[in-house]
């Protein structure tokens, strides 16, 4: 509804991505570990994440959010959009997975008509699936460079009617389970695997505390594109604001406060508004390419995609997806849980996140070190791309070669995971 303005010079001198020279310092590692055919991440950025219906982007259309990050990523590295072979955008709620919206954002970003764009909807993993799709095109040598994005405005489009479906779905157990509300699948995981309310609330508190600490320390500044936009306040007045911070983080969260919240989906349940992901608005974009093409253009390398996996699980306990997708991706990469420095696991619900972490034996200190969707929010199509941006920035801050995993559960019963390597200083 409102035209956004990206604040010029948003990358401060102190930021690790303050210039192309700074970005190029990310490319390291032994020559033996590099291949000209590697799919590498050049750069990525995201918007702040706004609370749906009442946050900073409640009146902002998804094409504007998407355009902001598409423009900023290429501007940061000095790349002309005509160098892109393709653009893929993850989206869930817009009609047709946002195919029209994505092309509009494409033109609002000043991209030429000769660069194609398309959208993909694999629900909560849509942003990551967009990256998988672009990576696949690079590996098949269809393209050399591509932009993988994700966007969602849950303010302007809500999860609702599943659409036209056969009445026969009620005669098939698995088909019928696909329409179980997500909150009930969380309750199913908690009940079936014994994830207590206490564990869920403790995990939710930790997410809020880590996100609040990261925000107050300025850790998110290097990944967020400050945006000037307008919104209508509660008095009906239009306000001009510059959005630089996620507005769902609740620094004052306490265990006592979480324990008082009533179950949100089932009278005797354990899933609450406090231990579930927030409904949100946001966008993210990640520039990836074949290493040889990236080097020929003098672009930096922030990370290397080492493995990717998508698996299926029972729809009624869809939240267990990461517990199966992560091992599949790690096996493909020839790594184990112990080899991974950081796990970015989407916190759709604390119940499923706790189950997956415990099932895989992941040390809690390695999980979402800067908070997750319970604190930051979960704009469905955006989240996977946002997680990649957050992960690689965290690995870079640590200043040494390392590995990270991005993973999430997926409605209707799936899980996705990707393994990235940060090359080191």
CA distance 380 to 159: 10
Q: Respond yes or no: is residue 178 known to be catalytic.
A: no
CA distance 390 to 333: 21
CA distance 414 to 394: 27
Task: Report the 10 Å Cβ neighbour count for 84.
Answer: 25
CA nearest neighbour of 115 among 153, 93, 87, 151: 87
The CA angle 67-69-70, to the nearest 5 degrees, is 65
The continuous run of DSSP H or E covering 309 comes out as strand 303-312
| Two structure tokens written together for 228 | 């000037």
- What is the C-alpha radius of gyration for the chain, rounded to an integer number of angstroms? 20
Residue 257's Cβ-side half-sphere holds a number of Cα atoms within 13 Å equal to 10
Q: Respond yes or no: is residue 106 known to be catalytic.
A: no
Q: Which residue has the tokens 């997926």?
A: 410
| Two structure tokens written together for 11 | 């990358």
| Two structure tokens written together for 278 | 């927030």
Its sign, for the CA torsion 154, 376, 14, 41, is negative
Q: Respond yes or no: is residue 409 known to be catalytic.
A: yes
| Two structure tokens written together for 99 | 């195919």
CA distance 295 to 301: 8
Burial class (CB in 10 A: 0-12, 13-18, 19+), 64: buried
3-state secondary structure of 237: coil
CA distance 402 to 188: 35
3-state secondary structure of 143: coil
CA distance 360 to 348: 17
CA nearest neighbour of 128 among 221, 41, 36: 41
The DSSP line for 245-290 is S-S---TT--HHHHHTSPPSS-TT----STTBPPPEEEEEEEEEEE
CA distance 83 to 226: 25
Question: Phi and psi of 234, rounded to 5°?
Answer: -65, -20
Given the residues 88, 124, 356, 382, the one annotated as active site? 124
Given the residues 10, 43, 106, 378, the one annotated as active site? 378
- Where in the sequence numbering do the catalytic residues fall? 124, 378, 409
């Amino acid at each position: 509804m409102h035209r956004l303005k990206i604040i010029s010079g948003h990358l401060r001198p102190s930021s690790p991505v303050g210039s192309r020279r700074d970005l190029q310092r990310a490319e390291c590692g032994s020559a033996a570990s590099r291949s000209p055919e590697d799919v590498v991440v050049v750069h990525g950025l995201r918007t702040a994440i706004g609370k749906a219906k009442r946050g900073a982007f409640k009146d902002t259309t998804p094409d504007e959010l998407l355009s902001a990050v598409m423009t900023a990523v290429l501007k940061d590295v000095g790349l002309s959009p005509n160098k892109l072979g393709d653009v893929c955008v993850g989206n869930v709620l817009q009609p047709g997975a946002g195919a029209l919206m994505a092309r509009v954002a494409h033109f609002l970003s000043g991209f030429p008509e000769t660069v194609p764009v398309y959208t993909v909807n694999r629900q909560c993993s849509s942003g990551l699936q967009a990256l998988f799709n672009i990576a696949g095109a690079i590996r098949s040598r269809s393209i050399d460079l591509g932009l993988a994005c994700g966007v969602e405005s849950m303010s302007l489009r809500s999860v609702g009617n599943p659409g036209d479906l056969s009445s026969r779905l009620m005669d098939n157990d698995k088909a019928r389970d696909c329409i179980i509300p997500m909150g009930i699948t969380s309750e199913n995981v908690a009940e079936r695997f014994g994830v207590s309310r206490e564990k869920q609330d403790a995990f939710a508190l930790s997410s809020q505390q880590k996100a609040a600490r990261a925000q107050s320390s300025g850790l998110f500044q290097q990944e967020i594109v400050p945006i000037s936009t307008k919104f209508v306040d509660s008095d009906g007045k239009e306000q001009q604001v510059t959005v630089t911070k996620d507005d769902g983080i609740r620094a004052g969260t306490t265990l006592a406060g979480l324990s008082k919240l009533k179950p949100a989906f089932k009278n005797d349940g354990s899933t609450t508004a406090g231990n579930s992901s927030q409904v949100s608005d946001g966008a993210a974009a990640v520039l990836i390419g074949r290493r040889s093409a990236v080097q020929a253009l003098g672009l930096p390398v922030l990370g290397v995609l080492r493995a990717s996996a998508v698996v299926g699980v029972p729809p009624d306990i869809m939240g267990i997806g990461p517990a199966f997708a992560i091992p599949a991706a790690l096996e493909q990469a020839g790594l184990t849980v112990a080899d991974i420095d950081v796990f970015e696991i989407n916190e759709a619900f604390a119940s499923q996140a706790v189950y997956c972490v415990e099932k895989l034996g992941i040390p809690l200190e390695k999980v979402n070190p800067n908070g997750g969707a319970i604190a930051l929010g979960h704009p469905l199509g955006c989240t996977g791309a946002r997680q990649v941006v957050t992960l690689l920035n965290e690995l870079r801050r640590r200043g040494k070669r390392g590995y990270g995993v991005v993973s999430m559960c997926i409605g209707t019963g799936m899980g996705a995971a990707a393994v990235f390597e940060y090359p080191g200083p």
